[in-house]
Amino acid sequence: MTRNGEDRMTSFSTDEALARLLESGRTRAIATDPDHALLWDALISAAEGGKRFRPALLVAAHGALGGTLHAAAAEVGAAVELMHTAFVIHDDVIDGDHVRRGRPNVSGTFRDAALATGVAPEPAADYGRTAAILAGDLALAATIRTVATCGAPPPVVDRLLDLFDAALHTTAAGELADVRLSLGAVPATLDESLLMEEQKTSAYSFALPLQAGAVLAGADDGVVGRLGEAGRALGVAFQLADDLIGVFGDPRHSGKSATNDLRTGKQTPLLVHAGSTTEWNRIAPHVGRELDEEELTEVRRLLTGCGSRDFVEDLAEQHLTTARTVLDELGIAPALLDSVVAPPPAVATGEEVAA
């Protein structure tokens, strides 16, 4: 079988594992309460789409290191993807977004349903947020249950649960830091901003799947540790590219708002660097409020002219190079990275796709 054929089969079995996981949850939801089943349906909808690169990284690491627990790898890959869905749902609540990938997200779906019955806007929005928090919680619980019942030997399951627990804690710390830095009480440093990006994205999207794949393959702690380093570097590169999409991207292609990061004043390295330039006095009035198309065009021009866009693109490439070096040393398919982290200049072409 060709390598491409193997990749298709890997993707198929991981997708099948996720479908089984979601359908099992739906069966329990229906047995609980018909209205509760609607919540699970919204969760299933939230899990649709995306690149599925997290399970692909896990399966690639498992295969490259000689792993034979293919069924368990598919199950744990599905768990990583469901964890991602949970964090996306909660992140939308934190950011006050009701749309994801160009359509209503969980909170938007339940808010709109309440509005359709005549509920006033504010309580309808509260209802939507409540639904999203509960859906994300259910997804996290199902994630851990899936790992615990993945079929791997008990010592392997114990190591996996430790990895998932660490990823949950680190990601929560990153989410909280993201909001804390956005308060603006103290200007964020570049190091603080990069650490936040590493905690928020790298831990569960990159380090976790690479390390989980290695654990399933029986790799020693040294290899698992090195894959953690690669995952952290890869995650920062990915998040930096995503930050650029969050300002310079086309929402029609990315499914991501091009004004939300500016509206919420997120202390991304893009804005932190801009704050150190002489153009900041002209950029600052565009941060912390809604922008129209003309204002967005102007702040994009300023962020490019002051060198902040180039700075972030270069920084992303440096981290991507670091990740490639480690993965090359360990024999983990570096070509996979090209489909995982789009080069930052892609935001100029409007071809970016939300992950």
Structure tokens given for 143: 């994630």
**335: CB partners within 8 A, 6+ apart:** none
The answer, as to whether pTM is greater than 0.75, is yes
Considering the domain architecture, whether residues 169 and 203 belong to the same structural domain is answered as yes
CA proximity to 147, closest of 134, 156, 135, 138: 156
Answer yes or no: is pLDDT of 308 > 50: yes
> Degrees (nearest 5) of the Cα angle 9, 87, 40?
75
Q: Is the predicted pLDDT of residue 10 greater than 70, yes or no?
A: no
- The beta strands (E) that lie in the chain are given as 99-100, 103-104
Residues 136, 179 within the same domain: no
The residue range of the domain holding 133 is: 1-152
Residue 232 has pLDDT above 90, yes or no: yes
Please tell me whether residue 157 adopts helix, strand or coil conformation.
helix
Residues 2 and 16 grouped into a single domain: yes
Digit-coded pLDDT (tens) for 239-255? 999 899 989 988 877 76
Q: Do 126 and 258 fall within a single domain?
A: no
Q: Which of 104, 127, 152 is the last residue of a domain?
A: 152
Span 256-262, average pLDDT: 81
**Residue 186 and residue 196: Cα distance in Å, rounded?**
15
Residues 214 and 276 in one domain: yes
Boundary of a domain, candidates 152, 184, 214: 152
Minimum mean pLDDT among 3-7, 48-52, 242-246, 271-275: which range?
A: 3-7
Kindly state whether residues 256 and 267 are assigned to the same domain.
yes
Where does the pLDDT of residue 346 fall: very low under 50, low under 70, confident under 90, or very high at 90 and above? very low
pLDDT of residue 338: 59
Whole-angstrom distance, CA of residue 61 vs CA of residue 15? 17
Query: Do 143 and 162 sit in the same domain of this protein?
Result: no
> Average pLDDT for residues 251-266, to the nearest whole number?
79
Together in a domain, 134 and 169: no
- 3-state DSSP call for residue 117? coil
Is 163 in the same domain as 121? no
Low-confidence winner among 168-182, 246-260, 275-289 (lowest mean pLDDT): 246-260
Domain count, the chain: 2
Q: At what angle do helices 293-305 and 221-248 cross, to 10 degrees?
A: 130
Residue ending a domain, among 104, 122, 152, is: 152
DSSP class of 354? -
Q: Of 134, 156, 183, give the one whose Cα is nearest residue 75.
A: 156
Q: What does the pLDDT average to over 294-319?
A: 95
Report the percent of the chain where pLDDT is more than 90: 69
Q: Is the pLDDT of residue 341 over 80?
A: no
Q: What is the mean pLDDT of the chain?
A: 88
In this structure, are 175 and 300 located in the same domain?
yes
The answer to whether 118 and 98 have CB atoms below 8 angstroms apart is: no
pLDDT band for position 187 (cuts 50, 70, 90): confident
Same domain, 36 and 89: yes
CATH number, domain at 59? 1.10.600.10
- What distance in Å separates the CA atoms of residue 252 and residue 45, rounded to the nearest whole number? 19
Tokens 């982290």 belong to residue: 341
Q: Are residues 96 and 10 in the same domain?
A: yes
Q: How confident is the model over 13-32, as a mean pLDDT?
A: 93
| Side chain identity at residue 351, one-letter code | E
Read off the pLDDT of residues 74-128 as tens digits, 9 standing for 90 and up: 999 999 999 999 999 999 999 888 888 778 999 999 999 999 999 999 999 999 9
Please tell me the distance from the alpha carbon of residue 325 to that of residue 319, in angstroms, as a whole number: 10
